[in-house]
């Protein structure tokens, strides 16, 4: 468990799921590594964040074999497991019930972005430079009430703002169209139609389905109560990022992989995170401290959305805030 971040049973299930993609034929020229060993090399590398050379010495294979095992494993995880593992799933009600217990009704996910350090591509040191002065790509993650990814968007340069990545993401397009959640179940709150909700911090643009805090614009007690509830529920995504990076230590150091392979490695780690979370595997060792939760909303961030979306988002937010206040008074 300590070296591979998963139980033997989970490891063996992973091997069998990937066997069709990873198995190689024995030839007269060479005997290939077994699928079990290739998966072990890749999972160990992702979990420990050491160099290819350290893995080479540990497993007694060539450095180039380690590198190819890691990348081929990540490609196989993407192809075989991504769509089955990172999805909203059929039981939307269970997700909503989980967020309802956290104090935020009709919610299907909490969204945020996190930076993954990478090596700056040769000759283009500024292409991925972020505001903290290192090269990174962004992972936009949306998580459910159990801390499991239901959507990831990976690959945008770290120099981009979270709101920019969000508005250009497949998730945003699907939610605008009402096609992400099966059946798109809506609430009617005194004539205000409330679609399935995703919650975010103040950096994101308000939309009818994307709720952010009132922050400085809070005018009443039920606004401040709304903000407290939202921030408590949104903590799920911060905790998820901490467990994700704590489990797959390669993500906390600069990824030592080629630029064209970075997205596959980061995505594969998200799939493995879900597999481990679903099976209740603990995260061993110290977790990365989550960034402080921002309560203060900045209305300038709403410039990233159009006036119609902003106005509709404010109507939905007010209806939800009043509904929560009324429900709270009855508890």
Average pLDDT (220-241) is: 96
181, 92 Cβ separation under 8 angstroms: yes
Q: What is the pLDDT of residues 268-307, one digit of tens each?
A: 999 999 999 999 999 976 666 555 444 445 444 555 567 8
Where do the domains of the chain lie?
8-85, 92-258+284-330
The residues facing 210 across adjacent strands are 198
Token digits for 111? 């969204």
Range of lowest pLDDT (75-79, 231-235, 323-327): 323-327
Average pLDDT (189-195) is: 97
How far CA 40 is from CA of 6, 57, 65, 70, in Å, comes to: 11, 14, 13, 9
Average pLDDT (148-156) is: 97
Average pLDDT (179-208) is: 96
In whole angstroms, give the CA distance from residue 134 to residue 117. Answer: 7
Q: What is the pLDDT of residues 34-55, one digit of tens each?
A: 999 999 999 999 999 889 999 9
Average pLDDT (170-178) is: 97
Token digits for 319? 């209806």
Token digits for 189? 């709150």
pLDDT on residue 293: 47
Residue 241 has pLDDT above 70, yes or no: yes
């Amino acid at each position: 468990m300590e070296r591979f971040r998963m139980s033997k049973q989970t490891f063996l299930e992973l091997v069998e799921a990937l066997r069709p993609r990873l198995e190689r034929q024995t030839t007269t020229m060479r005997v290939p590594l077994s699928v079990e060993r290739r998966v072990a090399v890749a999972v160990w590398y992702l979990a420990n964040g050491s160099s290819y050379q350290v893995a080479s010495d540990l497993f007694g294979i060539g450095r180039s074999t380690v590198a190819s095992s890691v990348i081929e494993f990540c490609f196989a995880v993407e192809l075989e497991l991504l769509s089955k593992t990172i999805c909203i799933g059929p039981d939307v009600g269970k997700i909503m019930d989980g967020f309802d217990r956290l104090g935020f009704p009709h919610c299907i996910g909490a969204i945020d972005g996190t930076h993954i350090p990478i090596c700056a591509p040769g000759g283009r040191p500024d292409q991925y430079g972020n505001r903290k002065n290192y090269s990174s790509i962004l992972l936009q993650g949306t998580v459910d009430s159990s801390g499991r990814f239901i959507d990831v968007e990976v690959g945008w340069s770290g120099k981009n703002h979270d709101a920019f990545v969000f508005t250009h993401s497949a998730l945003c397009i699907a939610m605008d169209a009402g096609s992400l959640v099966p059946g798109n179940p809506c609430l009617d709150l005194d004539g205000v139609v409330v679609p399935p909700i995703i919650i975010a911090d103040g950096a994101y643009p308000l939309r009818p389905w994307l709720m952010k805090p009132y922050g400085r614009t809070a005018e009443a007690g039920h606004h401040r109560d709304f903000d407290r509830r939202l921030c408590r529920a949104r903590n799920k995504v911060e905790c998820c990022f901490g467990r994700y990076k704590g489990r797959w230590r390669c993500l906390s150091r600069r990824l030592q992989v080629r630029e064209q392979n970075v997205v596959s490695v980061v995505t594969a780690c998200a799939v493995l995170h879900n597999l481990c979370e679903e099976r209740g595997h603990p995260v061993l060792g110290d977790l990365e401290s989550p960034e402080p939760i921002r309560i203060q909303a900045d209305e300038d961030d709403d410039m990233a959305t159009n006036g119609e979306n902003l106005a509709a988002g404010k109507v939905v937010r007010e209806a939800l805030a009043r509904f929560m206040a009324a429900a709270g008074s009855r508890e």
